[in-house]
Structure 1
Amino acid sequence: MTQTVNGHGTVTTSGSGPRGGDDRLGSGVYDGPRALAEARRALRVALPEPSSKYTQDDEWCVVQQPDGAWSEFRFHDYDRIFDVPGLYEKIFYDVLGCDSPRFMVGLLADALADARIEAADVRVLDLGAGNGIMAEELAAVGVAHNVGVDILPEARTAAERDRPGLYTDYLVTDLTALDAEGSRRLAGHELNALTVVAALGFGDIPPEAFRTAYDHVAEGGWVVLTIKDAFLAADDTSGFARMIADGMASGTLEVVRRERFRHRLATDATPLVYEGIVARKRGPLA
């Protein structure tokens, strides 16, 4: 059984959302490019019944596309989701109220202001760039040089389709096996910031890929990341808890902002809590 949402039935849950908002499904925290508005309105999404519990890695929905056909999509089947214009935004922003890119860019903007650094001087490596929502939020605060990296060619295609011109460059590559040409290409951008938002801990970006991206950021550069709180726990097996904890303890990661926040809602309408970290790179990760 499924529940239809976002204009086709309403589901509510108690509690408070990020920065005092509410937890309604379809809370409308993100508008996005006008070109996608019609595509998003034409899509209908149905979620599993709220009583059905799924791990975050196994969440799914069914989607009625403009031709009337219904199809099932797992949330981590990003290649299929990116192929449908507006579907990523429909699921994660319109229905599940994701706020991570806006929230994290806000933390970064505050940190830059405190450090008296102009956003125009920041040159970002956006890891797990997807279809460009993070670059859109960064551009809104004045960051003009964004380099996207994603392992999926469908992600770059979607970014070029939905948000043309936001990325100075966009590499489709596996950072666990980055070749010399890819490394030279990244180095040529003289990157001084890394953003990794809503992409760590589920196997999409393993620690080795994060370390490679980190190594291409200049000393003193900015590191902006979100990660589910479970992946920072003592019993974490992903490798991120130790990497990040060791970086903080050694001073390699100098944390300047750290907040727990609601990344989005799960399909059962419970909040998914993440850690948001803004740090300065002060040395290599162990």
Structure 2
Amino acid sequence: MTDAFTSVRLLGPPETDGEYIALSEHETVHLHEYTRIYAVPGLYEHVVQERLRCTSPQVAAEGFLRAAEGLGLDPGSMTVLDVGSGTGLVGELVRRGGVARVVGVDALPAAREACLRDRPGVYDDYVVGDFQHPDALRAALRPYGLGGLVSAGAFGGTHATPRALDNALALLPAGAPVAFTIDERWMDESDPDGFGAAVERLVSDGGLTVLERTRFQHRVTTTGEPIFYQLVVGRTE
């Protein structure tokens, strides 16, 4: 364990409204209190990546790179949109995989601040915005000539809705590789407002071809129980 975080403890029940972390004897925050967590360099990665063993960034990045390779595209000539960029781990991973340029988007100004502090130079631009309300984002992103999309855990639940996914995909040209991970609870196709139904609509309407759809362990909870997500890899049409 990193010496700087020896006092950090993971908390579950009897907390009744989710997962918590104790930053010190005097401060406890919700796991999704991102603004507070991002304010401490390295804390998010320590808790989520190391302690809770989150794999979504690696799974999403590798899925995207497989899709690009399978479609015969050169990552070194691509500009990729990273939705829900957070502190920049996904962007860093796809850049390591050979992607030339990455543009990040996150709804939280604190995420942008943390990324520019901890991973300067990963993104060609990092835009604060919400794909629920995409007009300003369209204007900001249009000059980049986006050629693909990657996202780790940004869609679903209290994050972005199926409308946000539709709006993000609408920025891409036909034939662009896409990879995103999402909690399997939001992929129930019987829910007409869920992501499972949204993906099926995209497929049936001819907007997306699904190349892969696999289940994987996203992370564990603060009490050690597994959380499963799905990886969706596709190509815009």
Q: Which TM-score applies when normalising by structure 2?
A: 0.91
1:194 aligns with 2:157: no
Q: Residue in 2 aligned with 1:260? A: 215
Asked if the contact 2:216/2:231 (under 8 Å) is kept, the reply is yes
Aligned to 2:80, what secondary structure does the other structure show? Answer: strand
Residue of structure 2 in register with 1:139 after alignment: 95
What is the 5 A alignment of 1:137-176?
137-176=93-132
Larger Rg: 1
Can you list the C-alpha shifts for 1:154-191, whole angstroms capped at 9, x where unaligned? 000001000001110111112222345x4222111010
Contact 2:103/2:123, CA 8 A, preserved across alignment: yes
Q: Which runs of 5+ in 2 are unaligned?
A: none
The one-letter amino acid paired with 1:48 is: L
Counterparts in 2 of 1:241 and 1:176: CA distance versus 1, 3 Å: same
CA distance change for structure 1 residues 73 and 237 in 2, over 3 Å: closer, same or farther? farther
Q: Decide which of 213, 218, 223 is 2:173's aligned counterpart.
A: 218
Are 2:151 and 2:181, in contact at CA under 8 Å, matched by a contact in 1? yes
Secondary structure of the residue that 1:216 maps to in structure 2? coil
Which residue is equivalent to 1:42?
A: 4
C-alpha deviation, 1:217, in angstroms: 1.3
Equivalent in 30, 48, 54 of residue 74 of structure 1: 30
Measure, in 1, the Cα distance between the counterparts of 2:222 and 2:234: 31
Identity of aligned residues (%): 34
Q: Is the 8 A contact 1:102 1:137 kept in 2?
A: yes
SS state at 1:176 partner:
coil
Corresponding residue number in structure 2 for 1:25? none
Q: Distance in 1 between matches of 2:5 and 2:175?
A: 44
Mapping of residues 27-106 of structure 1, within 5 Å: 40-44=2-6, 45-48=8-11, 52=13, 58-64=18-24, 70-106=26-62
Give how far 1:237 is off.
6.7
Supply the AA of the counterpart residue of 1:82. Y
Map of 1:109-120 to 2, 5 A cutoff? 109-120=65-76
Tell me the CA shift for residue 114 of structure 1. Answer: 2.4
Cα drift, residue 41 of structure 1: 3.5
Task: Confirm whether residue 208 of structure 1 aligns to residue 160 of structure 2.
Answer: no
Aligned residues: 236
Q: Name the counterpart of 1:30.
A: none
Task: State the Cα distance separating 1:211 from its structure 2 match.
Answer: 1.9
Q: Secondary structure at the match of 1:175?
A: coil
Distance of 1:222 and 1:247 partners within structure 2: 14
Displacement, 1:215? 1.1
Contact 1:108 1:278 in 2 (8 A): yes
Cα distance 1:61–1:224, how it changes in 2: closer, same or farther (>3 A)? same
> How big is the alpha-carbon RMSD for the aligned residues of Structure 1 and Structure 2?
2.0
Tell me what 2:227 maps to.
Answer: 272
How many Å separate the matches in 2 of 1:214 and 1:41?
Answer: 42
- List gaps (5 residues or longer) in structure 1: 1-6, 8-39
In structure 2, relative to structure 1, the CA distance for the partners of 1:77 and 1:235 (3 Å cut) is farther
| Superposition deviation, residue 235 in structure 1 | 4.6
AA of the residue aligned to 2:85: A
Which amino acid is 1:211 matched to? D
Aligned residue type for 1:201: G
CA distance in 2, matches of 1:259, 1:187: 31
TM-score normalised per structure 1: 0.76
Cα distance in 1 for partners of 2:9, 2:195 equals: 33
Distance 1:74 1:243 in 2: 29
